[in-house]
Homo-oligomer: A and B are copies of this chain.
């Protein structure tokens, strides 16, 4: 239910489209993307089918809107992460926002995996996903470049900053994917241990 709202939002701040997007999110997280029909979303949001259709002409319109909002919600959370001097620690804090470490992030991750699966066969969702990955990878590459210039043991960098960033994002996405599809295997404690071990290996410690 809270997967799209910024923490400070109150119901009065939220537009009808965002409320509907929340309902889409809830349906997907609880029942999967297959059940996220205009009808089901109307029922979840307690509005008429016409009210949903007023905002979203097709299911794909609805899904693109929701996908973009999840990305925005995650980006907003990442912006609020308090950053310090340690680059490894900063990367860890930022990437933890992508991992299913609490109920909100679990829900977001479930929705994200469902969208990504659909992106494989939907050009419109694929375009949103491509932009999202490019943006995150670009930001990670900047941080990794800065780490190199601050005297981190760059001998551990085997690749260009851009490739190291793509590999680092793959680590976070893989942990998220394995945890969402098999939660008993990767609880929050183990997820952060594995992420931090990777960052230690990359940056030579915290």
Report A's interface with B, CB cutoff 8 A. Answer: 29-34, 110, 113-114, 116-122, 126, 129-130, 133-134, 137, 156, 158-159, 163, 166-167, 169-178, 180-182, 184-186, 190, 193-194, 197-198, 200-202
A31 touching B121, Cβ below 8 Å = yes
Give the complex CA separation of A38 and B32 in angstroms. 18
B121 touching A181, Cβ below 8 Å = no
Give the complex CA separation of A114 and B126 in angstroms. 14
Contact of A190 with B166 at beta-carbon distance under 8 Å, contacts A34-B34, A114-B117, A116-B177 already known: yes
CB distance from A148 to the nearest CB of B (A): 15
Q: Kindly report how many copies of this chain are found in the complex they form together.
A: 2
Residues in B with CB closer than 8 Å to A158 are 197, 200-201
B117 touching A33, Cβ below 8 Å = yes
B167 touching A177, Cβ below 8 Å = no
Residues in B with CB closer than 8 Å to A121 are 29-32, 110
Give the complex CA separation of A78 and B129 in angstroms. 30
A182 touching B119, Cβ below 8 Å = yes
Give the complex CA separation of A172 and B178 in angstroms. 11
Give the complex CA separation of A31 and B120 in angstroms. 9
Residues in B with CB closer than 8 Å to A117 are 32-33, 110, 113-114, 116-117, 181
Q: Pick the contact of A126: B130, B134, B181 (CB < 8 A).
A: B181
